[in-house]
Structure 1
């Protein structure tokens, strides 16, 4: 149960998988990171959106700063008991600061002391400085205590107060999914991508939940969007591998019966955007993939797996073919629009290498050694020229 909710901490990438700053987005953070911004403001560091807090004297200010740093270091490495001990000292220094009590509650969760966490967090989680994260933490504590009804009520109360909370949509989606209500859970995750486009976790789970089903197209689309938003965590590696693997799982080049299979037949039979005379988006996607894959079909048998180079070339051909066919004006899809921008910029192939870099690390490293300068130039460009998340995206599965 605890692992399902764990947010991975950023890790340094080995070459060539170099870390990229989060451009134009907020990456998911461990519980309390927003509150830490409030704490840092009390120590003289200005953070947008943080509440005002008056420190009684400079000596106390310095001592709190040192202790907060120590506590957060313990939390970073999952040492909940040690963090709790430090937060107790901090609370003794300033018992009236709810942010410190909140962090103590987070540390208690890390230490699996859920009753202690409940005692500390229940009186304060509704405080406006914690916003939706307060409700998220309290609901999670109830889940750990096996009080699923109270957890659901807490998440729903939080969502009623913060209807544009991506994290509370995620929690309710997880709640229903674990309970076996898969469609209801998926609806919450999809809605979460719309109300808070910069919260990555909902994209992640929409992608992951479709990977082993008949509609792998949504793994490809939502997974790629997730990678653009959360560029540098353990989840990034997992999703990079997953989308690379899913592209291969949906193609059997050389199979004369069913060479491309990214969507269930029921999706392919829907009317297109202008009625029965046009293909639905999913069919247009499969058709374009099939025509773009022609150069990679073996003379005999079935191609067991596309290499990264072949997949990069196929994707490049797909976007070019999509534009030639006029599909870019017929179908609305924010990710494909972004791919078209990348192709026009001249960086699309490097972007695709970055996207699938964890799908085949050896091939990526071999390519990188021959293309280091250009790839580094791309990374520098990509840092400030990423996909836009300033409004809800249209990706399929209904558009906002």
Structure 2
């Protein structure tokens, strides 16, 4: 039985040589990066200094030096290093991200925001810079500003996963969880098999379980949004706030169930999809739900639901996978093909607009 696509931990690195497909005049840069990953920062920096002498115009070497200082918590040295190369012609958005991060680590949030904004003037479609702005606002407990920045990042770079991750966590930890569930599921599809994926898998399951209270088959309570604001112009157009539509279809999907488990929730999700397509897909199009329909049409949606929420009920997932290995293998084969990935970059279509 295939064991691929059970969530595993994966660590990210932000090295320039990983972000660029190019060759370097100083091949020692690859060894230097390995030293940084091994936390041998002084050795790495010495090697990168040698590379600077060989190719003084290459931006990667001083950037990696600054990264080594950052990992070693020498933030002022990292800033000094980055400021020396501020006028290089081949700077990338990562430069402003790293520089702003170091100011943030020094508890200078206003300076960090100024750096991110400066970077956005040069790289207006850099979702990572909107992410970093949002993180600063989030830690200052300016949650509305944080959400606005994350959602702007989704608009300019729709396939960049981290804005969905941060926004999803914020909403799922609030009393208005619907958007968090949408953003969280999108994130799991854009960034697969990472430590963060495991975290969001559990959050998604737990958030749904908390919001759906089943006393018996005839008595159910659901609560995904504490308050819903109705725009009078939308009422005239017979368009309701998205959360009302979402909750209505959840309610229909829960009918007939007397408990909440991974197995029962997978069935609820299938019913939700059918109900949504019966009456609401035309007036309330949704990129994520359209992707779910694609999976349903390919007979992999049930397996996907078990995969998606597996960390919320690991025993339930293991038991289901053991009993349904052929179905799960079919899903894995389909889901891992590039052409079957969730594509958020659809011209003029933004998920944040669709779920207002």
State the partner residue of 1:241: 202
Greater relative contact order structure (CA < 8 Å, 6+ sep): 1
Note if 1:69 corresponds to 2:24.
no
Deviates more, 1:95-104 or 1:107-116: 95-104
Out of 314, 322, 337, the position equivalent to 2:276 is 322
- Cα offset, 1:257, TM superposition: 8.1
Out of 6, 12, 22, the position equivalent to 1:41 is 22
Indicate how the Cα distance of structure 1 residues 82 and 215 shifts in structure 2: closer, same or farther if over 3 A, else same.
Answer: farther
Partner of 2:328, secondary structure, is helix
State the partner residue of 2:212: 251
State the partner residue of 1:336: 289
- Cα offset, 1:80, TM superposition: 3.8
Out of 60, 81, 98, the position equivalent to 2:59 is 98
State the partner residue of 1:353: 306
Q: Distance in 1 between matches of 2:23 and 2:106?
A: 33
* C-alpha RMSD over aligned residues: 2.8
Indicate how the Cα distance of structure 1 residues 80 and 379 shifts in structure 2: closer, same or farther if over 3 A, else same.
Answer: farther
Partner of 1:167, secondary structure, is helix
Note if 1:134 corresponds to 2:95.
yes
Moved over 6 A (4+): 255-258
Note if 1:386 corresponds to 2:341.
yes
State the partner residue of 2:15: 32
Unaligned runs of 5+ in 2: none
Deviates more, 1:159-168 or 1:146-155: 146-155
How many residues matched?
A: 350
Q: Distance in 2 between matches of 1:19 and 1:86?
A: 36
Superposed CA deviations along residues 97-118 of structure 1, whole A, max 9, x for unmatched, are 3211111110110011112211
- Cα offset, 1:249, TM superposition: 1.0
Out of 119, 122, 133, the position equivalent to 1:172 is 133
Indicate how the Cα distance of structure 1 residues 178 and 368 shifts in structure 2: closer, same or farther if over 3 A, else same.
Answer: same
Deviates more, 1:137-146 or 1:67-76: 67-76
CA contact under 8 A between 1:165 and 1:196: conserved in structure 2? yes
TM-score by length of 2: 0.88
CA contact under 8 A between 1:102 and 1:121: conserved in structure 2? yes
Superposed CA deviations along residues 280-313 of structure 1, whole A, max 9, x for unmatched, are 321121111111111213xxxxx4xx21111111
State the partner residue of 2:223: 261
- Cα offset, 1:235, TM superposition: 0.5
TM-score by length of 1: 0.79
Out of 194, 200, 211, the position equivalent to 2:155 is 194
Q: Distance in 2 between matches of 1:272 and 1:263?
A: 21
